[in-house]
Chains A and B, each alone.
Chain A
Amino acid sequence: MEGAFILEKLILVVVVFTVTLVIAMYSTLAERKIAGFMQDRYGPDRAGIFGILQPLCDGGKFFFKEEIIPAGAHKTLFILGPVIAIITACISSAVIPWGQDLVINGRTVSLQVADVNIGVLYVFGVIALGVYGIMLGGWASNNKFSLMGAIRAASQSISYEIGMGLSLIALLMVTETLQLGEIVAQQSGFVNWNIWVQPLGFLIFITCAFAECNRVPFDLPECETELVGGYHTEYSSMKLGLYMFSEYINMFVSSALMATLYFGGYNFPFMYDLGLSQNWITIIGVLVFFLKIFGFIFFFMWIRWTLPRFRYDQLMNLGWKILIPLAIANIVLTGVITLIKDTYFQ
């Protein structure tokens, strides 16, 4: 491997990491602003113009809070919990293609940290690991509320991962590859987006994504009304901050994933008809991709301030009795349609 390649990847990693963190930071503000507007009030607007400095103030406050480790807690695991949560949240963005190739001085620079050929599997593996952070933290707290939250998180993520995986199988039958870069490249323009061929799959996927991110209406692991603070009841200071941060990073990554898999990633309508050079297409593509991501993040928050929380048995009913059968039906349907198309319309 040449030095320039390593340097280029390193810069990309740093940029992606920074962007992820900044977006997660401002998601906290956006969440409160959107909540405010939906409830006919302003939300935080005192720190800087439009409350633009609010995330910095919140972060600073987190750092100066007292760090409490309960006497009965398992100290190592208690500290390990938020660490795992934030690390898994951060590394899952590694395979997401942020844009097409840039050409700088005759050198092609890929805007994807790693185009592994099992990209989708990698993301799912990492997301599945994310629940360990919550489980370990909840169990190590030695508090019944935390434990309840952790148990709920574990069972919820197991149930919804099946639905999510099954909905993706139908998608993979269409794309015939697990490589995220390739999946996006197939969806160039507007009519080739996977949402048009897999609307049901997308519906199942987005529902499961809400559950995987522990967002309302599936936020049972933290469920303030029943479990005090859920799995992070005993956490304080920046450890709590890391948990909250990882939640927002997860939201960002799953938004990016949904945009990549179903909404054409960096592709935008008429991208090759406007006579733009390759670099311009790439730059606009990156912006369009982030626009899509922000759209999804907004949708996450919009749902949060609209729907009430599911009851636990309703959550399990929805997961096992509705989403999984639907996802299987979707696979069969996709198979049949593909077969008919290949036999009669080829």
Chain B
Amino acid sequence: MQSLTNRKKVIEQKPMNIWERMYLPAIAKGLAITIRHFFKKIPTVKYPEEIRPYSKNFRGQHSLKRDEQGRERCTACGLCALSCPAEAITMTAVERQRGEEHLYREEKYAAVYEINMLRCIFCGLCEEACPKEAIYLDGPHVTAEFLRKDFIYGKDKLVEPKFDITKLNVNG
């Protein structure tokens, strides 16, 4: 058959000569290759001690953000749940009572906000959908658990801890 490219190489199988049949040159060649690898730099990253740098836009565990006064930004509009292609987010909306203004920024907030980490595909669409800039996928890896129920993260794990805005390093 005519070849389509001229890259074809016809390999001729000649019977081995005495030097090749002794195998010793081939063995020496093989030994040279392995010993070269013996002294090569090892690419292993010793994981718990060394962690490889993550990309800046790495999407990890979600966190529900607070505003400058430490109030939860989420208003339980449900757009994140609606945009979620994996249907991982559920929430229960509750009206803010008088005297809770220091806890919740909007008049309505999520009393229950759950993300099923087994369903979540970390696509970041909830982040994009949120009108209040309340949810970001800026956490670490979601860790392994023994039970399925432990993968349903509630507000206790999602809401970010309170911080003092005056002490925050803006440039960092």
Binding site for B on A (CB under 8 A): 34, 37-42, 302-303, 305-307
Q: A306-B31, A307-B30 are in contact. Are A37 and B37 (CB under 8 A)?
A: yes
The answer to whether A39 touches B35 (Cβ under 8 A) is: no
Q: A307-B27, A307-B30 are in contact. Are A302 and B43 (CB under 8 A)?
A: no
**CA distance in complex: A37, B40 (Å):** 8
Contacts of B30 in A (CB 8 A): 306-307
Contact with A along B143-165 (1 / 0, CB 8 A): 00000000000000000000000
B26 to chain A, nearest CB (A): 9
A311 to chain B, nearest CB (A): 14
The reply on B10 being an interface residue by CB < 8 A is: no
**CA distance in complex: A16, B35 (Å):** 31
15 contacting pairs across A/B (C-beta < 8 A): A37-B37, A37-B39, A37-B42, A38-B38, A40-B43, A41-B42, A41-B44, A42-B46, A302-B31, A302-B35, A303-B31, A306-B27, A306-B31, A306-B34, A307-B30
**CA distance in complex: A40, B34 (Å):** 10
Within 8 A of A (CB), among B35-63: 35, 37-40, 42-44, 46
| Contact among B35, B40, B46 for A40, CB-based, below 8 A | B40
Contacts of B39 in A (CB 8 A): 37
| Contact among A34, A42, A303, A307 for B38, CB-based, below 8 A | A34
Contacts of B37 in A (CB 8 A): 37-40
The reply on B11 being an interface residue by CB < 8 A is: no
Task: Rank and list the top 5 A-B pairs by shortest CB-CB distance, nearest first.
Answer: A306-B34, A306-B30, A38-B34, A37-B38, A38-B37
Binding site for A on B (CB under 8 A): 27, 30-31, 33-35, 37-40, 42-44, 46
**CA distance in complex: A303, B38 (Å):** 13
| Contact among A42, A302, A305 for B42, CB-based, below 8 A | A42
Q: Which residue of B lies closest to A39 (CB)?
A: B37
Contacts of A307 in B (CB 8 A): 27, 30
Contacts of B40 in A (CB 8 A): 40
Contacts of B43 in A (CB 8 A): 40
Main secondary structure of the interface of B (DSSP, over half): helix
Q: Which residue of B lies closest to A318 (CB)?
A: B23
Contacts of B38 in A (CB 8 A): 34, 37-38
Q: Which residue of A lies closest to B24 (CB)?
A: A203
The answer to whether B42 touches A306 (Cβ under 8 A) is: no
| Contact among B27, B34, B44, B46 for A305, CB-based, below 8 A | B34
**CA distance in complex: A53, B46 (Å):** 19
Contacts of A41 in B (CB 8 A): 42, 44
Contacts of A302 in B (CB 8 A): 31, 34-35
Contacts of B27 in A (CB 8 A): 306-307
Contacts of B31 in A (CB 8 A): 302-303, 306
B30 to chain A, nearest CB (A): 5
**CA distance in complex: A33, B43 (Å):** 15
**CA distance in complex: A42, B46 (Å):** 9
**CA distance in complex: A256, B46 (Å):** 37
| Contact among B33, B34, B35, B44 for A42, CB-based, below 8 A | B44
**CA distance in complex: A237, B34 (Å):** 33
B97 to chain A, nearest CB (A): 54
Q: Which residue of A lies closest to B23 (CB)?
A: A318
Contacts of A39 in B (CB 8 A): 37
Q: Which residue of B lies closest to A299 (CB)?
A: B31
| Known pairs A34-B38, A38-B34, A306-B31 / 6 extra A-B pairs, C-beta < 8 Å | A41-B44, A42-B46, A302-B31, A303-B31, A305-B34, A306-B27
The answer to whether B44 touches A306 (Cβ under 8 A) is: no
**CA distance in complex: A285, B16 (Å):** 45
**CA distance in complex: A38, B43 (Å):** 13
Contacts of B34 in A (CB 8 A): 38, 302, 305-306
**CA distance in complex: A4, B42 (Å):** 53
A195 to chain B, nearest CB (A): 16
**CA distance in complex: A307, B23 (Å):** 11
Contacts of A42 in B (CB 8 A): 42, 44, 46
B44 to chain A, nearest CB (A): 6
A209 to chain B, nearest CB (A): 15
**CA distance in complex: A288, B5 (Å):** 61
**CA distance in complex: A307, B33 (Å):** 11
**CA distance in complex: A199, B33 (Å):** 24
B36 to chain A, nearest CB (A): 9
B42 to chain A, nearest CB (A): 6
Contacts of B35 in A (CB 8 A): 38, 302
Contacts of A303 in B (CB 8 A): 31
**CA distance in complex: A306, B46 (Å):** 26
Q: Which of B33, B34, B37 has the most CB of A within 10 A?
A: B34
**CA distance in complex: A111, B7 (Å):** 67
**CA distance in complex: A40, B33 (Å):** 12
